[in-house]
Amino acid sequence: MIELVNVSKQYDKTKSLHQISFTVEQGEVIGIVGKSGSGKSTLLRLLNLMETPTEGTIKLNGVDVQSLSKKELRQQQQKIGMIFQHHNLLENLRVYQNVALPLRLQKKKNPKKINDLLDFVGMSHKADSYPVKLSGGERQRVSIARALSRDPHLLLCDEATSSLDEENTESVVRLLHKTHEE
């Protein structure tokens, strides 16, 4: 469960978020909508614990994240998966290596898991390809597999379909629903 209570975020003299409060229950899917510059990306940075609020409280499963030590904060961050608008794949790594990267950074290896994730997102046949050879929809599928590689408790998407055509958008949305169900 995620709970935000009177959360505000200010950069210099610009208030990006002001007194935001909401709760997301376990298993619930929500969308954040708003105009450009309304604070959506700032809110995501707060939710994935990359930034701290200027005011207010963020709780994950009842724990105030501002009270966590650096080590505990890193442990919580590892339980959060992030799918970015522009995929954020490393161009010098093949698809398999991009998906395996989060585990490799934790000094873990799990080839079966990586292969299972590539199967899950329908990208096994492109495991040895470089991102430059993939379509936008294929890149986003790889990005989803990578976000799932650490078995996140929370999956955040930053405009995950905004750069895709209608067909790929539908495909990625179906994949996100499948991810939520499983």
All CATH 3.40.50.300 domain ranges in the chain, comma separated = 1-71, 78-182
112-155 residue pLDDT tens: 999 999 998 889 999 999 999 998 888 988 988 998 898 888 88
User: Which CATH superfamily, name and number, covers 1-71?
Assistant: P-loop containing nucleotide triphosphate hydrolases (3.40.50.300)
Helix/strand/coil for 172: helix
Please give the full DSSP string across 83-118, using - where no structure is assigned.
E-TT----TTS-HHHHHHHHHHHTT---HHHHHHHH
Query: Are the CB atoms for 23 and 17 separated by under 8 Å?
Result: no
78-182 placed in CATH 2.30.29.30: no
pTM assigned to the model: 0.81
